[in-house]
Amino acid sequence: MKALRMAAVCLTALGLTMAHAAPALTDEILIGELHPLTGPASFYGIPESRGIQLAVEEINAAGGVRVGDQSQMLRLMTEDDHSTPTAGVAALKKLRAADVRFIIGPLGSGVAPALFPIIDRDSGVTQIVDGTIAEGVTNGRNIFRNQAAVSQYDLAVADLFRSKKYASVAMMTDRFHAGFMGTQPALSETLKSLNATVAAEEYYKLGDTDFSAAMTKLVSLQPEVLLIRGYPAEGALITRQARQLGYEGQVVWEMVSPPSTVLKNISATEMEGVYNCIPPTTEDYIALGQDKALAFDKAYQAKFGTTPGELSTLSYDAVYILKAAFEKAGSTENEAVNAALAAMRPEDVPQLISGYVAHQDGRLFDDVGQVNLRGAVSIWQGEGWVPVPDLAG
């Protein structure tokens, strides 16, 4: 009787373990997604997660993914990384324990570098990074990114300086943003090569509220441009405090900044004329009247009752990129899928919304797994950002 009871306990424990691991059925492909669903970055993370949900539902409703001669459904497993490295690594381990072999995310520039060494050594997983802009988090083998790298943001800054021939700049950078800090020296050199004097480089951190000391110093130098690199809540506050202290030069942002978030922290009047240098976002594609973006916007609003986030289209695109890779590979083996991703061309994924430009060899990803998603300049007019197609004007 005792042995029987012990066996029952063991079987129950085994059953619970199996239930927790929940391996994918043979006719479905398990995709894991890692985004900040809580915490200060959740206003980016939740719309990304929703973009993925929407794509998965669309694909399944249309019959799933055609792998070889059979159709397979996508199943999504969502984990919250809180946009912190520790939670990110824990979430990755949880996904791997559940036998997830395809991962989309993360958003945080602190999280991606923490995940990179783990995934880089794990040939059993394929990752598409849809959020972070930090450098050095892809390898072109099993880690790819359909978001721009921060150096591609910087190209737009350089375009702006080249066009406007600004003579001097002061920079305010979030010193805990690995991406921006990583490219700061290179950007500084680029701007100097464009005959702009770098009057000062000052730093702040996420959550700071008082910038008066740095702004007093910067305003006294009267740089032609105040370049702010980081996140929108601090960007709004720095812009406001600089203006209050009498700064009359051009303010340039380099950050993903949804107008809804911006306007919660600064008035539209104070934002008028501020430039932003980032790749086009969901709102830009919608504003430009792009058909696929408009359809996405409609579907998103119908499902979630709210407008999509700035990065939602990237997450949506990432699912379709994976789908195309499964179909091209005719397999869900990681090695085959990785090879299909490495060889993929933008035209292989007709559902893509974002304006990826093929690399010189025609591929979507370059040798290190990075897409070509160049930064562009937009300007704040009225209640939001408006693309600036002709910089010379």
Partner 1 sequence: MLDLFLQQTVNGLALGSTYALVALGLTLIFGVLLIPNFAHGEFYMVGAFLTYALVMAGLNFWLAMALGALAVIALGCLIDLVAFRPLRGAPPLSLMISALAASIILQQTATLIWTSEARTIPTPVTGVLRTPFFIVTWMQVVVMASLILSVAAIWAILNRTRLGLAIRATAQNHDAALLMGISMVQVRLATFAIGAALGAIAGALLGATFPIYPTMGVNPVLKAFVVLVLGGIGSLRGAVLGGLFLGLVEVMVAGYLSTELQDIGAFTLLVLVLLIRPQGFFGTAQVER
Contacts with partner 1 by CB under 8 A lie at 38-40, 42-43, 175, 202-204, 207, 209-210, 212-214, 216-217, 220, 233-234, 236-237, 244-246, 261, 264-266
Residue 48 or 317: the one with the smaller Cβ distance to partner 1 is 48
Residue 189 or 210: the one with the smaller Cβ distance to partner 1 is 210
CB of 387 to partner 1, least distance (A): 25
CB of 74 to partner 1, least distance (A): 28
Residue 214 or 311: the one with the smaller Cβ distance to partner 1 is 214
Residue 44 or 385: the one with the smaller Cβ distance to partner 1 is 44
Tally of CB atoms within 10 A around 348: 17
Residue 151 or 188: the one with the smaller Cβ distance to partner 1 is 188
CB of 112 to partner 1, least distance (A): 20
Cα separation values, 39 from 78, 231, 292, 334, Å: 16, 14, 31, 32
Rounded distance between C-alpha atoms, residue 159 and residue 313, angstroms: 25
Residue 85 or 140: the one with the smaller Cβ distance to partner 1 is 85
CB of 313 to partner 1, least distance (A): 20
CB of 265 to partner 1, least distance (A): 5
CB of 267 to partner 1, least distance (A): 8
